């Protein structure tokens, strides 16, 4: 789908997957005008397909587009395009319980612009790929290292939207962490270097007794759709959930820690390394709270329990 700056997106069309042509001075290539989303389609036992809260991805893309001076598809256009793309790629959706189809909507400044300014034209496209687990550990615990020098987002910056530059900013720390055997990096706030922010591609939760705490949304972390869903799920399971500033000391003193995201779903954290000190959780195994929330959410996403929240969209 294409759209001029200040205009509306026209109706899209299905195309075979392949390379796309871009002008060398396209806004996305030169000034980073790019936003993406990520969601999954699961196949149910009866063969039908479930999407999880696609209108939330549509709304988040619209907020991000506003921050990045880009026009965006309406919620209806976005969701209709997701449905059409998934149905056209039905054969790539793994059988029930064997993975999912990852859906990647991408919005970019495709028009040519030489001086620094928003691009004059935009392209919205969606591609898909079958996926298994995000971390090589699967649902086994992951090991994180707290990053002290490099930051992914500054106050007033673009950390709160899903723009491509945020991911470029994490590559260096993430590659270094992986080379040392860690699964991923946990970032701290860049002012005090004391409060938790998020992991390269997921949100973080800290469990202490019956209280589950997670960093509040304040512009430097992504408002995860899994995060929001887990907050509601945990409350409905009787936990007290707090969205606030969470310190690194609380992290090190937690009973359990887990991450949430579309790709990682709910991933238990087995250990955290902070300034050379390593702390293990739940004896390095999967904590009971992480296991419970993982199970409640994934059963809902896969259509194994009744969707009382109205979060899933069924396609056949």
Q: Which residues bind ligand PMP (CB under 6 A)?
A: 38, 198, 201-203, 222, 224-227, 260-262
The C-alpha atoms of residue 76 and residue 239 are separated, in whole angstroms, by 34
Least separation in angstroms between residue 115's CB and ligand PMP is 30
Least separation in angstroms between residue 153's CB and ligand PMP is 9
Least separation in angstroms between residue 52's CB and ligand PMP is 10
- Please calculate the CA angle 44-48-52 and round it to the nearest 5 degrees: 70
**Identity of the residue, 65 or 113, whose beta carbon is nearer to ligand PMP in the bound complex:** 65
Nearest position to ligand PMP, beta carbon? 224
**Identity of the residue, 3 or 72, whose beta carbon is nearer to ligand PMP in the bound complex:** 72
Least separation in angstroms between residue 263's CB and ligand PMP is 6
The C-alpha atoms of residue 71 and residue 5 are separated, in whole angstroms, by 6
Q: Answer yes or no: are the C-beta atoms of 277 and 149 closer than 8 Å.
A: no
The C-alpha atoms of residue 75 and residue 291 are separated, in whole angstroms, by 33
Return the residue matching tokens 């955290």: 272
Catalytic residue among 83, 162, 180, 277: 162
Least separation in angstroms between residue 182's CB and ligand PMP is 17
**Identity of the residue, 100 or 201, whose beta carbon is nearer to ligand PMP in the bound complex:** 201
Q: Does the active-site annotation cover 162?
A: yes
Q: Please enumerate in sequence order all residues whose Cβ is within 8 A of that of 246, keeping only pairs 6 or more positions apart, or say none.
A: 195, 196, 204, 206, 213, 214, 215
Least separation in angstroms between residue 193's CB and ligand PMP is 19
Q: Please enumerate in sequence order all residues whose Cβ is within 8 A of that of 199, keeping only pairs 6 or more positions apart, or say none.
A: 144, 184, 185, 186, 187, 259, 261
**Identity of the residue, 93 or 153, whose beta carbon is nearer to ligand PMP in the bound complex:** 153
Cα-Cα-Cα-Cα dihedral sign, residues 252, 255, 259, 264? positive
Surface-to-core class of residue 138, CB atoms within 10 Å of its CB (0-12 exposed, 13-18 middle, 19+ buried): exposed
**Identity of the residue, 132 or 209, whose beta carbon is nearer to ligand PMP in the bound complex:** 132
**Identity of the residue, 72 or 262, whose beta carbon is nearer to ligand PMP in the bound complex:** 262
**Identity of the residue, 1 or 259, whose beta carbon is nearer to ligand PMP in the bound complex:** 259
Beta strands in 69-138 (DSSP E): 100-109, 121-131
> What are 209's two structure tokens?
């007794």
Surface-to-core class of residue 265, CB atoms within 10 Å of its CB (0-12 exposed, 13-18 middle, 19+ buried): buried
DSSP state of 26: B
Q: Please enumerate in sequence order all residues whose Cβ is within 8 A of that of 24, keeping only pairs 6 or more positions apart, or say none.
A: none
Least separation in angstroms between residue 69's CB and ligand PMP is 21
Q: What are the φ/ψ torsions at residue 143 (nearest 5 degrees)?
A: -115, 120
Q: For residue 108, list its beta bridge partners.
A: 34, 123
Q: Just list the catalytic residues.
A: 162
């Amino acid at each position: 789908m294409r759209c001029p700056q200040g205009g509306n997106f026209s109706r899209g069309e299905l195309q075979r997957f392949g390379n796309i042509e871009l002008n060398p001075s396209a806004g996305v290539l030169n000034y980073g005008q790019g936003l993406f989303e990520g969601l999954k389609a699961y196949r149910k036992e009866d063969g039908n397909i479930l999407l999880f809260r696609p209108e939330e991805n549509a709304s988040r893309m619209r907020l991000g587009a506003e921050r990045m001076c880009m026009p965006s598809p309406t919620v209806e256009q976005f969701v209709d395009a997701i449905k059409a793309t998934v149905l056209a790629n039905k054969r790539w959706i793994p059988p029930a319980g064997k993975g999912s189809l990852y859906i990647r909507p991408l919005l970019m400044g495709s028009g040519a612009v030489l001086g620094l300014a928003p691009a004059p034209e935009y392209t919205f496209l969606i591609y898909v790929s079958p996926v298994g687990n995000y971390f090589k550990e699967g649902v086994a615990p992951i090991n994180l290292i707290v990053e002290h020098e490099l930051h992914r987002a500054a106050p007033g910056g673009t950390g709160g939207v899903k723009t491509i530059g945020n991911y470029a900013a994490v590559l260096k720390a993430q590659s270094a962490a992986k080379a040392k055997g860690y699964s991923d990096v946990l970032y701290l706030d860049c002012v005090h270097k004391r409060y938790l922010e998020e992991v390269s591609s997921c949100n973080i939760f800290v469990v202490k007794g019956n209280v589950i705490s997670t960093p509040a949304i304040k512009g430097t972390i992504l408002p995860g759709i899994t995060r929001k869903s887990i907050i509601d799920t945990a409350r409905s399971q009787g936990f007290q959930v707090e969205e606030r500033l969470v310190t690194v000391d609380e992290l090190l003193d937690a009973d359990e820690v887990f991450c949430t995201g579309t790709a990682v779903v709910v991933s238990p954290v087995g250990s955290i390394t902070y300034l050379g000190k390593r702390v293990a959780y739940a004896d390095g195994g999967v904590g009971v709270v992480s296991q419970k929330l993982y199970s409640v959410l994934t059963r809902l996403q896969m259509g194994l329990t009744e969707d009382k929240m109205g979060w899933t969209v069924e396609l056949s």
